[in-house]
Structure 1
């Protein structure tokens, strides 16, 4: 059964043309016990994240002194799941046009009723195709394709939901609670003069749950991005195996990363996304709605950059414009490379923009907090810079030690907006 993604989508999948008799990478198993474990972990992370966000909303609306704009927690919880569900319905509509079995009334009811849980539908489909891979090799390709679809749907969850919610949490529980953090770390004021009263400070204002949910959401965001990048890499190898025959090792040709490479990629995104969250929340805590100006301008810049790449490779359509807007939002927290081709130039340009944004956020924080004596007055901008640098170093280590393409600093290696998706290696380099 042929299956095609629309040419206007994030990735372009043509399984009938992806098999090559001269390439062993397409005939190897795509659904293994490692994929089973990975799917279970990602599914549990998705469900746990759902529960944590609901618990955050319940807590915010039960406080005697509710935080400012607490309704935003509800908005950023509902919006990403609805948008992901609508995107999933678009995918299902295409599938229903190509396959009569997908066009059944029961299938439509499932996709509509389970719209807020659309990634779980795709996980179930991926599991079904993976189990059938032994009977037909194409099901292994469809297994990877379904996982890419899961990755796309969860990108909505990351940049429309987890990111904004985490910014609100850091604003409310860190920057706006600086006195509580100061008391927990350094103790009450006049510690030497308070005598017996110091023996019982009382309940800690910043507890385990407060820190855990922030770290969990940050880890979940890094996990989503890493999952998407790894699985897209594998799908690209299956689509066009001829472009990767020069790579050494079957795993490199298949786009499979070892544990160390995956861990480095995860850590790079964990710390880099953490620096973005810190910067945005710092501006939001001190300048309020002005943070939307910084986010909006950066979003437009990323969207324009993505549109230039698409325009030079395939031309501009309404669907590609919408896709560029989505990826422009995702690029606020991570750099993806669904276009294929050389990445070094994009990497340098992206981190330069991110550094400039970090400098602006740090300057605005210092300008607003100067002379206030706040516990985080000097700590916040330096902490953001350190977290940013750790993420940058981890990403550089990944490209230096684990990237199969061995990026080199050449005129071709620095291409950042190439119209050639695959940008073949220069024979004379």
Structure 2
């Protein structure tokens, strides 16, 4: 695989020959490189993002390898179908909420006092004593990131506000690829993230079962965000509107559709049939100094994509080195595969929840299905980070 780089940030397996994907990747790496807190955290280390073909796995996960850098695995459908603001929300979650915050021993010490302590959920303080708790949570770090008084939450919030300010100023200056809508989608991603964590104790597929409570928490977190935003911030003009129960269901329905339709890893670079050691590695310093490698050899007629099984098993050993061709799976019948994906239980749950709400018969239920390190994540078996 030929990586696609901008400074210390790179996509290890992006199909850069497709301008839809290379333009989006350049924009994302520009924003990461221009974010003071993220750039300081990465330092001189590489930060590698690897696209993977995923379905029921979480859309993203992260590993801090110390001096060897930071590695993020991102679902290809998320990169392809969501806009820059949503992707920045996802990467901000993975980088800032987890390794950037966890490296601070003061945060770990502070959080040790909250282990097993019921914490109030914004917007639901007076409703049946609803609380969130690190015990039984999908990931205790997520609970502390949703706890408004916690340092991890404040760091996550400030990371998002800084990124939103970047997006808003770039849009005002007419920077290529910058859109005001990206500011709105970034803030929306952050608010849905913390709201769904809090309401479900980080078993977030269940937020579709409680759309009303999720919407109340979303709007309460939005009020807190406004209180911590400078009066003259350009972000204020692009905040998303308050969300209702139907808005929550729409978000989850969109998520389900994006997983189940045309999820074939189109943005993933396929291995060339003939390795060429002389092929230059693209390295982007700025928009006026962009180098692209030679075009890879034409793909085989039997297109090979990484399988979901390989994507999950490889998450513990991702690197930018070439993958073995045996790690790729031939997709014989794409329509059949899409039907199989559409039949997975999490998507059926979301569809049933949406249908029940439309009929006025939503039941507030809770299901313990732990997930880790993702925004709007369907349940999966936990694995080591």
TM-score above 0.5: no
More strand by proportion, 1 or 2?
2
| Bigger CA radius of gyration | 1
TM-score by length of 1: 0.27
